[in-house]
Amino acid sequence: MSEKLPKDFLWGFATGKSSIRVKYEAFCQERPKFRPTASYQIEGSANEGGRGPSIWDTFTRVEGKIRDGSTGDVATDSYRLWKEDIALLKSYGVKSYRISLSWSRIIPLGGRHDPVNPEGIQFYRDFIKELLVNDIVPFLTLYHWDLPQALHDRYLGWLNKEEIIKDYVRYAQVCFESFGDLVKHWLTHNEPWCVAVLGYGTGVFAPGRCSDRARSAEGDSSREPWIVAHHLILAHAYTVKLYREQFAASQGGEIGITLNTNWYLPYDDKAENIAAAKRAVQVYLGWYAEPIYKGDYPSVLKDMIGDRLPHFTDEEKAVIRDSSDFFGLNTYTTHLTLEGGDNEWNGKVKTTHTKPDGTQLGTQSAAPWLQTYGPGLHHLLNYIWKTYKKPIYITENGFAVQNEDKMSIETAIQDKDRLEYYRDYTQALLDASREGVDIKGYFGWSLLDNFEWADGYTIRFGVTYVDYKTQKRYPKESSKFLVQWFKEHVEA
């Protein structure tokens, strides 16, 4: 096998990352992760350019929902500084940039009968054109958690099957018509697991629904996450159907979805813990991957959830089956897994990073759920390739250094732990490729430090430091490592 990745391998960074870093141990014994930057995480200018409010604009204004009381009103000010950001990407020599569109900047009220905002369309067209002028391939995500608030007010958003699927497909159609001549790589959803579980199960993400009445006046954590997930899958599938039937041939693009998962290792060699690790992957990842690539929910999930799990009709199964041209993967860490636990969303397992001998699996990050363990990525890539037989884009992968938000700029840019993380994970990527796993691209999370959802600005994932007071950008050592690594390991 080649010692290098193929010439057409896409590498770069994500902006508008999905992050799931917030405390909800009462519901779940592990915490989700953050990914490439979402529009709400970087754009700012929340009330400019014709943009309408999203559920995150509303959620961040509820006292106690965001760790530091912040919002995405300014974020990294990328709505104004986008040319500077693209110049930064150019200086890094990246081949591609994964960005997320703001639904409420394109259709402020969100609905299929609501007016399209020409300013929003023009902003993204200008952005995409500037990427192309600089030989950077755009990788566009349609939905990165920021549902237009008007749709939640109108019919409870993702809980309403009849309305949300039609509105989402229409929104996607507007994007294909507006940007499809420039864009060849599309993602429908970023991490639908986070939308369903964190938004409607634990209530720590917008719109903040859950069964805990101390946290939310409305919601049912035992049922709503399964309903929302079902509708997200259908919205994805019908959007892909539309793209394939009306746009793919003329525009020459590909379309898929990006799913998030950890790798799960057995805590020890006990049979019950080996079974638990297997079940965790089947539930956490299989909840979405099995319908999308094989046509229905995994049997282990059906058995666990029973009649609370919605059913696909035969017609819907035909639409959802094989509804992604590739496997988009967001992954950050590995968990040691034990039998037990009552969290249905991760397969009723317990997880830890502490090994039986008391040592840690890897280097601890600023997020409790994230430690370094490069071999886990190697195992996960092999598992996905063997199970789903689709080319893989690693659409998010990254690390948050402990206490980086409290460091001076001079100290923060010397991000040794992040650099070591990327060293381990790029090696795992290369090892899997050598073994025949078809990996098409890699996007580090993230280009910039940014608004990390419920954690606000208290955690930094960027390979570029952002001084939020001045909005100046400072490359970290990890960015230099990645630039050099891909220069050496992608065929010229």
> Is the per-residue pLDDT at 19 higher than 80?
no
Categorize the per-residue pLDDT at 47 as very low, low, confident or very high, splitting at 50, 70 and 90: confident
Q: What is the rounded distance in angstroms from the CA atom of residue 405 to the CA atom of residue 396?
A: 21
> Is the per-residue pLDDT at 43 higher than 70?
yes
Q: What is the rounded distance in angstroms from the CA atom of residue 398 to the CA atom of residue 429?
A: 13
In this prediction, residue 100 carries a pLDDT of 96
Q: Is 396 a catalytic residue?
A: yes
> Is the per-residue pLDDT at 31 higher than 50?
no
Catalytic residue among 163, 339, 396, 452: 396
Residues 364-370 have a mean pLDDT of 97
Q: What is the rounded distance in angstroms from the CA atom of residue 457 to the CA atom of residue 455?
A: 6
> Is the per-residue pLDDT at 282 higher than 50?
yes
Q: Which helix (H) or strand (E) holds 133?
A: helix 118-133
Which residue reads 């300013």 in tokens?
A: 119
pLDDT digits (tens, 9 = 90+) for 322-338: 999 999 999 999 999 99
Question: What's the pTM?
Answer: 0.95
H helices present in 157-212, as ranges: 161-179, 192-200
Lowest mean pLDDT among 26-35, 51-60, 144-153, 416-425: 26-35
pLDDT digits (tens, 9 = 90+) for 211-253: 999 999 999 999 999 999 999 999 999 999 999 999 999 999 9
69 φ/ψ angles, rounded to the nearest 5 degrees: 70, 15
pLDDT digits (tens, 9 = 90+) for 66-76: 999 999 999 89
> Is the per-residue pLDDT at 186 higher than 80?
yes
Q: What is the rounded distance in angstroms from the CA atom of residue 292 to the CA atom of residue 327?
A: 10
In this prediction, residue 283 carries a pLDDT of 98
In this prediction, residue 38 carries a pLDDT of 67
Do the Cβ atoms of 20 and 205 come closer than 8 Å? yes
pLDDT digits (tens, 9 = 90+) for 141-163: 999 999 999 999 999 999 999 99
Categorize the per-residue pLDDT at 35 as very low, low, confident or very high, splitting at 50, 70 and 90: very low
In this prediction, residue 42 carries a pLDDT of 79
Residues 422-450 have a mean pLDDT of 98
Contacts (Cβ under 8 Å, ≥6 apart) of 265 = 277, 334, 335, 336, 337, 376, 379
CB atoms within 10 A of CB 306: 7
pLDDT digits (tens, 9 = 90+) for 63-101: 999 999 999 999 899 999 999 999 999 999 999 999 999
H helices present in 201-285, as ranges: 224-246, 248-251, 271-284
In this prediction, residue 2 carries a pLDDT of 60
Q: In the chain, what percentage of residues exceed pLDDT 90?
A: 92
In this prediction, residue 36 carries a pLDDT of 44
For the structural domain made of 10-489, what CATH number should be given? 3.20.20.80
Categorize the per-residue pLDDT at 263 as very low, low, confident or very high, splitting at 50, 70 and 90: very high
> Is the per-residue pLDDT at 108 higher than 60?
yes
